[in-house]
Chain A
Amino acid sequence: MLERRDFTDSRLAALASKRPLRMLPNAVVLKLGGQSIIDRGAAAVLPLLDVIVAARPGLELIICTGGGTRARHAYQLGLELGLPSGVLARLGASVAKQNARMIQMLLAGSGAVHVTAEQLDQLPAFLGAGQLPILAGMPPYGYWTTPPAVGRIPEFRTDAGTFLLAEVLGARRAILVKDEDGPYTADPKKDPAARPLGHVSTAELRRLDLPDLIVERCLLDLLEGARLVREVTIVNGLEPQQLAAALAGQDAGVRIYG
């Protein structure tokens, strides 16, 4: 009979130092922002999809989608009703899923396929067949969502979901397409004096302790703890050539590194 002491933390820790497997080392995981991109409609989305279609030959691309204003509307109502974060997370997830389905339809002619969390192990088959997987960016925690450090809106949303997907796959790159040139000293939409920070480390972002940030704050912890993917690239999707350059492997966009 197996004894519990055969599986103590110290015996496991000895194994834990191994570098994990990279399942899809050539994959690029890209998120299209909800409020920042998809809520702008055709004017912002279609030029980016043109870039994606043009860049795709030879590229293992996986697209995740954000939520946006409908998620915010649902969160607001949920907050007023006193609903817990676990329920809010489910509400947010369904908006990201709507967006995933919309992007899938737009890219249907390029072999786009909507992939759910349950189908994740089919990703290699989809990519191998030259298809273009589209996922809702929200992680599948649902009712098991971690209570946030501050307030009640789930902390781990589509930035975190996209990054963790890239991490588990051991992807080459994680790209977040938003509507700014990376992090600023303040929200540039509200503060005209805000300055762009350029490429920046999580340590520097922690030191600055900004009241607002272009990525979910939990991403700093994830970047520092991750074993395989140690940076994300923020691309300004209002300039589609930035995405084209990033997908071509050039040094485009702004990197946040752990």
Chain B
Amino acid sequence: MKPPCSPAGAWAALLSLANYVIANAMDKDGRRHIASGLAAESLVDRALLERTAGRGLALLPELWLIAVGGSVFDAGAAPLAALAEASAELSQQHALALSCGGGVRERHTLMIGLDLGLPVGGLAAVAGAASEQNALMLWALLAGRNGVRLPQNDLELLPALLALGRLPVLTSFPPYEYWEFPPERNGLPPHGCDCGALLLAETLGCRLLLLKDVDGLYTADPRRDPQARKLPRLSAAELSDPAFADGPLEPLFGRILARCCRVREVRLLGGLEPGPLRQRLTGGAPGTLLEAGHA
């Protein structure tokens, strides 16, 4: 190329360079692409998607996300106060965040909503309120003990709160809202508080403790069958077995867990008293370990 020697020549050279850039950024059929490994690709192409597999970065590997189940809130003031006290104390030593389930008010909302004929996305859009109420109550309990209510929209502030030694209080119900998936057989939004806590733990690459009104998963319902045995561990595939469909976890939970590859530990343990939580944070293995897919 001849070097430009006049202002007009320089302008022409600039234009031709610009045209060259634009022409090269256009696909032959007129789409403007940015060069990247995914440019002009279909993001549905199976071979391409397989190339994107990999475990990658864990954002907050030291965090313990404590999902306080709705059943713990429904058990009344005393267990909740004890759990709040223990969490505040443990958060001095460990990075802890509390995530609150909905419980019986969530299920009441769903029942009324179903009876009114709301679509599943409509149910999901209203059912999260119970989880928010519970988070507000737990925050109020912890207000004098470093508790900070962290709304889902402000999730990016979580690391800062932990660095300041605060104890963040979140909601577990995930923001699927009007975009909720088609219902499970029970007619309910598939993503409840268990799934919500798991999805967040997977994104954060942290550990998840699910605190419930049962102290683990059993071979049968321990409230009805005295022969029921507590299982120390269970794989995601085993959890998806229909035998656990009426268990304490949402039906979709096992299927999501099977896809998880970043969450560091998922454990279901008793939350009606703080013992199991303390035990886990001091190296014990209470409850039932739920093994992710790590695909």
Contacts and interface: CB of A to CB of B under 8 A. Distances in A.
A153 B49 contact: yes
| Max count, chain A CB within 10 A of own CB: residue among B29, B50, B54, B203 | B203
B174 A144 contact: yes
Interface residues of B, number: 77
A130 interface: no
B259 A7 contact: no
A147 B260 contact: yes
B222 to A, nearest CB: 15
A133 to B, nearest CB: 13
B30 A40 contact: yes
A38 to B, nearest CB: 9
A159 B48 CA distance: 19
B31 A144 contact: no
A140 B38 contact: no
B203 A157 contact: no
B115 interface: yes
A79 B56 CA distance: 8
B177 A152 contact: no
A213 B44 CA distance: 6
Interface string B13-53: 00000000000000001111110111111111111111111
A12 interface: yes
Q: What is the predominant secondary structure among interface residues of chain B facing chain A?
A: loop
Interface stretch (A18-26, A102-110, A195-203, A239-247): A18-26
B42 A212 contact: yes
B256 A147 contact: yes
A39 B46 CA distance: 23
B196 to A, nearest CB: 6
A16 B119 contact: no
A164 B180 contact: yes
Contacts of A76: 36-38
Contacts of A122: none
Contact of B38 (A75, A87, A141): A75
A179 B42 CA distance: 12
A226 B182 contact: yes
13 contacts: A7-B111, A9-B186, A12-B107, A16-B187, A72-B36, A84-B57, A84-B203, A84-B205, A117-B179, A146-B199, A147-B199, A147-B202, A213-B42
* Chain A to chain B: the 4 pairs with minimum beta-carbon distance, closest first: A16-B187, A225-B182, A82-B56, A86-B203
Given A19-B117, A40-B31, 17 more contacts: A2-B104, A9-B186, A12-B107, A12-B187, A13-B187, A17-B187, A18-B115, A81-B56, A117-B178, A141-B175, A143-B199, A143-B204, A144-B175, A144-B191, A147-B256, A167-B182, A221-B182
